[in-house]
Amino acid sequence: MMRGGIGLKAKRISEKRPFIESRTIPNYSHNKNKFVDLLRVINRDSNLYFEQVTDYESGEIIHKCEEPLSQHQGHGSAKRLKPA
């Protein structure tokens, strides 16, 4: 079975970073040993971070996170560097 995803980024001419990013992609879950659907929206204008992981087969929501983007810490480039 094939699954595809879609993503978008919207930028203003005067700014480097996009003010909104969204993507929905198939993502492999090692806990579930199968592919799940990952939906992520980052809206810098509204200070919003939203992420939802859904099981393709059952439609069950496995994980959901909705919080102010300013409080979304410890992920991606916000992770602390490991000591050398």
3-state SS string for the chain: CCCCCEEEEECCCCCCCCCEEEEEEEEEECCCCEEEEEEEEEECCCCEEEEEEEECCCCCEEEEEEEEHHHCCCCHHHCCCCCC
| pLDDT tier at 53, thresholds 50, 70, 90 | very high
Domain count, the chain: 1
**Position 15 in a domain:** yes
User: Per-residue pLDDT tens for 2-52?
Assistant: 678 899 999 999 999 999 999 999 988 888 888 899 999 999 999 999 999
**Position 59 in a domain:** yes
**Position 78 in a domain:** no
Instruction: Determine contact, residues 17/9, Cβ cutoff 8 Å.
Output: no
